[in-house]
Structure 1
Amino acid sequence: MTVLVLLGILALAVGGCVCVVWAQRGGPRWVRVVATVTLTAGELLRSSEKNRRRSPNRTSGDGD
């Protein structure tokens, strides 16, 4: 079951990347929409990772 979920996520990621490339070459409207969603999701993940790195590590052994 886990393998199927991971394969589904992989298929969505690859499909999103294909749509981004296709949209740059002037694809149909639905491709541009999927490309925008893919790029927005990537930007959200990237900013989330940056915020996680900036936040102080509260479990760093404060002696509690």
Structure 2
Amino acid sequence: MTVLALSCILVLTIGGCVCVWWAARGGPRWTRAVSAATLAAGELARRASRYDRNPSGGDD
């Protein structure tokens, strides 16, 4: 079950990266929407990992 969940996450991540690449080259409108969602999710993950490393809440 864990392998299935991780495989789904991997497929979604790769698909999101492809949409970011395609949208940057003028792809269809839906790729721009998926691209924006992928970039927003990446930004949230980056901020979450930053807060995990620095529990005091200060900036780097």
Q: Please state which band the TM-score falls in when normalised by the shorter chain.
A: 0.7 to 0.9
The within-5 A match list for 1:34-49 is 34-49=34-49
SS at match of 2:16: helix
* In 1: Cα distance, 2:13 partner to 2:47 partner: 18
Q: What residue is the counterpart of 1:6 in the other structure?
A: 6
The count of corresponding residues between Structure 1 and Structure 2 is 56
Report which of the two structures shows the higher radius of gyration computed on alpha carbons.
Answer: 1
Unaligned regions of 5+ residues in structure 2, if any?
Answer: none
Runs of 4 or more consecutive aligned structure 1 residues displaced over 2 Å after TM superposition: none
Cα root mean square deviation, aligned: 0.9
* In 2: Cα distance, 1:46 partner to 1:23 partner: 22
Q: What residue is the counterpart of 1:25 in the other structure?
A: 25
Unaligned regions of 5+ residues in structure 1, if any?
Answer: 57-64
The alignment-based identity, stated in percent, is 57
Q: Tell me the TM-score normalized by structure 2.
A: 0.87
The within-5 A match list for 1:43-62 is 43-56=43-56
* In 2: Cα distance, 1:2 partner to 1:49 partner: 22
Q: What residue is the counterpart of 2:15 in the other structure?
A: 15
